Structure 1
Amino acid sequence: MTQFKNDNFLKALYREPTPYTPIWMMRQAGRYLPEYRATRQKAGDFLSLCKNPNLATEVTLQPLDRYPLLDASILFSDILTVPDAMGLGLYFAAGEGPKFQRPLRDEADIQKLKIPDIDKDLKYVIDAVSQIKSALQGRVPLIGFSGSPWTLATYMVEGQGGTDFLTIKQMAYSRPDLLHHILKTTTEAVTQYLQGQIEAGVDTIMIFDSWGGALSHQGYLEFSLPYMKVILSNLKMMSSKKIPSIMFTKGGGLWLEDQVTAGSDALGLDWQTDIGIARQKVGQKVALQGNLDPAILLSKPEAIEKEVKRILDGYGAGTGHIFNLGHGITEHTPPENVDVMLTAVREYSQQFHIK
Structure 2
Amino acid sequence: MDQNEKIVMFGVTHVLAIDGFSSKIVGQATMPVKNNLTIYNDVYRSAVMEYGMWDQVRVDHGKDFYLTLFMQEKLASHRHNTERPPYLQTPSTKNHRIERIWPEINNRVNYPLKATLVQLVDQEELDMEDQMTRFCVSSLTCQLAQIGVNRTVQAWNAHRIPGRGIPNYLARDGCPKKLSTDLLPNASVAADWYDQEVGSLTRVSDFGTNPFPSLQDQEAAVRGFALQCPDTSGLLDNAVNNLPQPFKDGLKGLIDISRRSCQLQLEQEPGSDDTSLPSACHKFLQSLFTVFSSRPHYPEGLAVISRAANVHRIRSRRSHGVVIVSSKRIADITIFQVPGQTSPSDSQSSL
TM-score between both structures, scaled by the size of structure 1: 0.24
Higher gyration radius (CA): 2
RCO (CA 8 Å, sep 6+): is it higher in 1 or 2? 1
TM-score between both structures, scaled by the size of structure 2: 0.24
